[in-house]
Amino acid sequence: MTAENMLDLIGKLGLLVEEKPNAFGLFHICWLVGTALAILLALKFYDKKLLRISYIITAVIMIVGEVYKQYILSYNQTGEFKYQWYYFPMQFCSTPIYTFTLCAILGKGKLYDWLSVYNGTYCLFAGLTVLMIPSTVYSNYLGVCIQSMLHHVLMVIVGVIALRTYAKNLSIKMFLGAFGVFLFFFIIAEILNFAIPMLTSQQVNMYFISKGMDLDMPILSHVKKAFPYPIFASMYAIIYTEIAIGISYLFYKISNPKIKY
């Protein structure tokens, strides 16, 4: 197959369009409405088996979707294959591919609990952030836009189900386990941020904290410019953890209204 034919094929598979979707345009609003309805249905018909079933279904969808996205984005504008390490699935919002899959495979236990609390706090907030500000995942490939929105919608829905499952019995030990999961992926992302450019000569921005790449994101870009890199990276981890703690505490309190603090 010639490069021209491959470029045409990628355009068709990726549903290439002239104008990419806009934040709070019809495409975006439909996803927001669909997410809200799905959450309401999940909470209305919730039972204890729902979380594990959700992990199994969403893990399959996320893996298939990620393979599709990687394939589409691995061809450059001339139709030649050149893997773009920038899109390697080790962003904050890529972690559910691993955590959901592990939860789908694992039986009940401490690791399952830690991963689930991570999914219901850190992942839930990360998914909500992109769902509300989707400009970083929109491109002229409508198929990739659909994959990205579906991925983040599933993060939010499953995160809510996980939070519903664990909120009443959340403990400091459980949250520390979730923090350990966050720290594990955070360290891997940092290693890749330094290793991939040296090995491939391609710049990457895992977790959007790479020292070697500029940011084009609200708030984060200003913080990165204002502080030395180690402080910026530490603040990133601390702020996300504080938000995760806030989510945990809020829903624990809602689930245990009779407990005095």
In order along its 261 residues, the chain shows pLDDT tens digits of 677 788 888 999 999 999 999 999 999 999 999 999 999 999 999 998 999 999 999 999 999 999 999 999 998 777 788 899 999 999 999 999 999 999 999 988 999 999 999 999 999 999 999 999 998 899 999 999 999 999 999 999 999 999 999 999 999 999 999 999 999 999 999 999 999 999 999 999 999 888 877 766 666 777 778 889 899 999 999 999 999 999 999 999 988 887 665
Q: Where are the domains of the chain?
A: 22-255
Tokens of 66: 């990620």
Question: CA 96 to CA 102: how far, in whole Å?
Answer: 9
* DSSP single-letter state for residue 259: -
User: What does pTM read for this prediction?
Assistant: 0.93
* Backbone φ and ψ of 16, nearest 5°: -65, 130
Element (DSSP H or E) covering residue 29: helix 26-44
| Residues of the chain by 3-state class (helix, strand, coil), percent to 5 | 75, 0, 25
Who contacts 205 (Cβ-Cβ below 8 Å, separation ≥6)? 86, 193, 213, 215
